[in-house]
Amino acid sequence: MNNSGSAMKHHKKPIISPLRYPGGKAALYPRLRAIVRANDLTSGTYVEPYAGGAGAALGLLVTGQVRRIVINDLDPAIYAFWKAITTESLEIAQMIKSVDLTVLEWSHQKDIYLNGPREDYLSLGFATFFLNRTNRSGVLNGGPIGGMDQSGKYKIDARFNRETLVERLRLIALHASRISVLNTDGMTVIKRYSKRDNTLIYADPPYFEKAGSLYLNSFTDSHHSALASCLNKVSDAKWLLTYDNVPRVAELYSDRRREVFSLNYSAHRVTKANEIMVFSDSLTVV
Ligand SMILES: C[S@@+](CC[C@H](N)C(=O)[O-])C[C@H]1O[C@@H](n2cnc3c(N)ncnc32)[C@H](O)[C@@H]1O
């Protein structure tokens, strides 16, 4: 597929996700694309059990590297967002075009995000999106860019380019019939999809350190161990996993191949972070 426009400007790392995600993995796109090809999975399904901004998944789908993607997130707000934009993209586009970018509107959207009915995924999904685009670093529980008094250098609309965002939405809507959106525990998704052929699972669970304030972090050490035993049991499936590079990862995945790598971050004003990738035995790693 050869789309033009700003969403596809960076050939190596297409920016398609409408969400800003602290620690987002869109930058892994070239590596994942190489792995998909080396494992002959271009007609297959790519699964993110801890999807968040799903930047890598969308990149792979829209550029035709995989046939289907599965996006799962346990956070009801993140789920509502993905559900809304894959099923009600025209409404969301209209809302993006017309919403006021003011602190008053921010308070209204924050109220929907915190207190609105969880099953109204259009309102909740849009509120999630609105806060993600207007909050500092995209952190959902944070404050608006520029502060409540808008005295900061950058204002609330600094990351809300309506045109670019609608364009990303349109691109996703075009491929929506090949996107499955789920709202369950990541391990349930891993168990289900590890039994299927022609499937690649990329797990990016909440990190051991620093994850706390950035997004829903239901993970304690026992969750990390449970995830390790779940993944280690299905090492004949094709999966990879990324984490912060803490010694516990090498312990939990001592029998698997591992590789340290770096990503650029903005949320903590750290430019490089040491991360680790773990691979299932049956995956061809390139
Ligand atoms: C590290 S982030 C993923 C970042 C993502 N790879 C990206 O590029 O944007 C982890 C995500 O897992 C979700 N999450 C936390 N606990 C979960 C669980 N038990 N099952 C599924 N998702 C979970 C969080 O809501 C968060 O969106």
Ligand 1 pocket check for 55: Cβ under 6 Å = yes
Q: What's residue 7's pLDDT?
A: 46
Residue percentage of the chain with pLDDT more than 70: 89
- Residue identifier of the C-alpha nearest atom 17 of ligand 1: 74
Count CB atoms within 10 A of the CB of residue 255: 8
pLDDT at position 9 over 60:
no
Q: What fold, for 1-70+184-286?
A: Rossmann fold (3.40.50)
Is 201:237 a contact under the CB 8 Å cutoff? yes
The secondary structure of 181-200, three-state, reads EECCCHHHHHHHHCCCCCEE
Ligand 1 pocket check for 23: Cβ under 6 Å = yes
Ligand 1 pocket check for 186: Cβ under 6 Å = yes
Domain map (residue ranges) of the chain = 1-70+184-286, 75-180
pLDDT at position 143 over 50:
yes
Residue percentage of the chain with pLDDT more than 90: 80
What's the rounded Cα separation, in Å, for the pair 187 and 207?
15
Per-residue confidence at 22, pLDDT binned at 50, 70, 90? confident
Q: 16, 46, 50, 183: which to mutate for ligand 1, most atoms within 8 A of CB?
A: 50
| More confident site: 271 or 73 | 73
User: pLDDT by residue (tens digit) across 169-219?
Assistant: 999 999 999 999 999 999 999 999 999 999 999 999 998 886 555 566 668
Ligand 1 pocket check for 284: Cβ under 6 Å = no
User: pLDDT by residue (tens digit) across 224-267?
Assistant: 999 999 999 999 999 999 999 999 999 999 999 999 988 765 55
Q: What's residue 1's pLDDT?
A: 39
Which residues lie closer than 8 Å to 219 by C-beta, 6 or more apart? Answer: 205, 206, 211
- Residue identifier of the C-alpha nearest atom 27 of ligand 1: 52
Ligand 1 pocket check for 206: Cβ under 6 Å = yes
Q: Is 96 helix (H, G, I), strand (E, B) or coil?
A: helix
Range 115-121, long-range pairs (CB < 8 A, 24+ positions): 118/76, 118/80, 121/79, 121/80, 121/83, 121/84
